[in-house]
Chain A
Amino acid sequence: MMFETFRTWFHRMGSPKWFYDITGRWIPWFGGIAALCLLVGTVWGLFFAPQDYQQGNSFRIIYIHVPAAILAQSIFFTMAIAGGIGLIWKMKVADMVAKSCAPIGATMTFIALFTGAVWGKPTWGAWWVWDARLTSMLILLFLYFGVIALQSAFDSKQSAARASAILSLVGVVNIPIIKYSVEWWNTLHQPATFTLTEKPAMPMEMWMPLLVMVIGFYCFFATVLMMRTRNEILEREKRTQWVQGLLSSQ
């Protein structure tokens, strides 16, 4: 029963028109929650959360750095799954979702690397160190660039989707490497502070704003992803009747 429901839903999502309609209704919700969480989280984290006993105020970069780094990895995973679905089920919407993921993920990776460098200078004493965590994160950025380049390197949308899906699926190997790099090797980067599986390594008044920021970042990603995919749908389906109808009705 569950499986049947899921299958119907899955096939419906594969219809560009249906996807366009349903996400149009979802966007205000996700966008609203994103805006609310990001606003509350930023104000809470930057003004009300206590200082760190060692780092003082510079620890507050965590409220941007950690959500961006989590999203950078989640988005890559999403992109690889969507790419895989596109390859196997030949679902056009999945290809479009995968394509829309890449620039958002690249931006998140850049934010994580940049805020990390800004944070590293005062705390560690270096902008950049070639340790396993930082290097694997830089590789993630290059993988995103590779996917973006492949997307525009082909004339045919299908070949572009196939090539970039394969690169994303191969690149997904990097995600566990990023996650466990701090445990497998000696790194300058410390192990994860924010986990949902273990007791947080910070008191609640520091952890709560971080949680709000992470939720906000996820909703922001969902909103932007749906908006980008909708644009992609309109672009690719512009000759179909329903898009024409949409245009003439406005």
Chain B
Amino acid sequence: MNPKRKKKLILLSSMVVAVGIAVGLVLYALSENINLFYTPTQIAEGEAPVGQRIRAGGMVVDGSIKRATDSLMVQFAVTDYKHEVVVQYTGILPDLFREGQGIVTMGAMDAEGIFQASEVLAKHDENYMPPEVEEALKASGHQATAQQ
């Protein structure tokens, strides 16, 4: 490789590395803001702003879903297996919403510490399997998925 090309190669590679480092630092500084949602632990530890609209994410706690008989209101708890947040939502839930499912919900904490949600999104994991496999797994006592 002649010296001129070598110089150019070094110049270009250092440019890419420099831009990479700069972007990396910016993303690191912004990392809290890039997170789509706060976990229940972050909310419990006061990392999430109070009174503002935020997104909270976690797993729907088994047996925590309570539906109102006269409206579309539904109450459930989400957990990250350390802390729990109680969520109230009025509206239609996505198809994948179920106990044990990961969800992301948008809303704000009210005075009683209940998360008043205006939007609920279902999160799913990267595992796919046929229904028969899932049933077989369940029958053998394994959790089908470890989500999130």
Contact = CB atoms under 8 A, between A and B. Distances in A.
B36 A187 contact: yes
Interface centre among B119, B132, B133 (most CB of A within 10 A): B133
Contacts of B34: 132, 185
Interface in A14-48: none
A122 B8 contact: no
B122 to A, nearest CB: 6
B86 interface: no
B72 interface: no
B12 A88 contact: yes
A89 interface: yes
A213 interface: no
Interface in A181-237: 184-188, 190-193, 201-203, 205-206
Interface in B75-109: 93-97, 104
B58 to A, nearest CB: 10
Contacts, number: 119
Nearest to B6: A88
Nearest to A52: B128
Interface stretch (A53-61, A100-108, A147-155): A53-61
Interface size class of A (residues with CB under 8 A): 35 or more
B31 interface: yes
B129 A188 contact: no
A170 B19 contact: yes
Given A172-B16, A173-B16, A185-B36, A53 B94 contact: no
A191 B133 CA distance: 21
Interface size class of B (residues with CB under 8 A): 35 or more
Contacts of B94: 122-125
Nearest to A205: B130
A67 interface: no
Given A52-B130, A129-B36, A203-B133, A188 B20 contact: no
B128 A84 contact: no
A53 B121 contact: no
Contacts of A122: 94-95
A88 B34 CA distance: 36
A6 interface: no
Given A53-B133, A130-B36, A203-B133, A191 B96 contact: no
Interface of B: 5, 8-9, 12, 15-16, 19-20, 23, 27, 31, 34-39, 57, 93-97, 104, 119-134, 144
15 contacts: A50-B130, A53-B133, A84-B12, A89-B5, A124-B96, A125-B94, A129-B36, A132-B35, A173-B19, A177-B27, A185-B34, A188-B123, A201-B127, A202-B128, A203-B130
